[in-house]
Amino acid sequence: MPDRVLLPKDHNGRRLDHAIRSIWPNVPISAVMRSLRKGGVRIDGVRVRSGGFRVETGQEIIVPWEAAPPPDRPRTARSVPILWRGENVLVVDKPARLLVQPDVKDGDSVITRVWGMVGSTRETTGFAPAAVHRLDRNTTGVLAVALDGEALRELLRLFRERAVSKRYLAVVVGVPVARGVIDAPLLKTDDGVVRVDKNGRSAETRYERISTARVDGFDLSLVEMELLTGRTHQARVHMAHIGHPVLGDGKYADMGRSKDGIEANRRLKSARPLLHALSLGFPEGLTGPLLEVSGRTFRSPPPEEFSIYMAYIR
């Protein structure tokens, strides 16, 4: 028999087809589109045939399929360090060697750990806590998670508009100039490798060299970066592009004008790329679900393995 749901605030302003897919994730997209075409979906009793129709909080949506059983909760008792928690936003301190999103069903990740820690309302609202941006598996540091749909949409908008300050800390091979701006478009290939390419998406990174030292025959520098865009592997590829790859980054060690990265990785034996998301800063004047983070900056101290090299350099 048909199922019906009163739309909660998490779906206010969403496309109808997106709301349906969130609330009934087990219904094939082909069945959703077929039901829309045939007039089987109603909003407040009125048939709606356009998946692009924008829904509002409190509207009743009626669909021609039965309610699905609640999904299993993620089977994990593991946690992730919390830097700050509000009503609508959670800021976590991501550890190394952990994906942000699971790569297999119920796989270990930041998000599945957050679900286990704070709970998920997916079975009643069609929304579960969601990461707003991404960090690579081996990158540590500050990560923002939305706890409701309105906050998620507003946070995504801020990131698209480049209104959030994202600062990173890295140990790089060599001695880059004191400060600079890297403006080089990035293209992601089918095998997951990112390269500088004129046909890629625009990408811009500002950096400042903090200090430099010679360690076991290699010049190493501590660099702070601000990512003005948020492209995949941006910090790693941009630094490698100017000849100063992140120490421990085997994927991009041989990119750019310097080949010292490969030998430094071999000799110094860093277990991972030494890249750390140092801080996230939110602009002043935010309202609604983001009032609680308006004007705030969240910072994460570099982890121990990172700090070892920082001690050498400083």
Say whether 136 is catalytic: yes
Rounded CA gap, 247 and 304, in Å? 15
Q: What number of other Cβ atoms are within 10 A of residue 12's Cβ?
A: 17
* Angstrom distance (rounded) from CA 153 to CA 89: 12
Q: Are 143 and 131 in contact (CB under 8 A)?
A: yes
Q: Which residue has the tokens 């692009």?
A: 52
Whether the CB-CB separation of 39 and 33 falls below 8 Å is answered with: no
Cβ proximity of 41 and 48 under 8 Å: yes
What is the DSSP code (8-state) at residue 286?
-
**DSSP character string of 136-147:** -TT-EEEEEEES
The CA distance from 101 to 21, in Å, is 19
Phi, psi of 88 (to 5 degrees): -120, -15
Of the listed 10, 93, 136, 249, which one is catalytic? 136
Residue whose tokens read 């796989």: 107
Burial of 65 from C-beta contacts in 10 A (0-12 / 13-18 / 19+)? middle
Contact 196, 202 (CB under 8 A): no
Structure tokens at 253: 């060690």
The residues annotated as belonging to the active site are 136
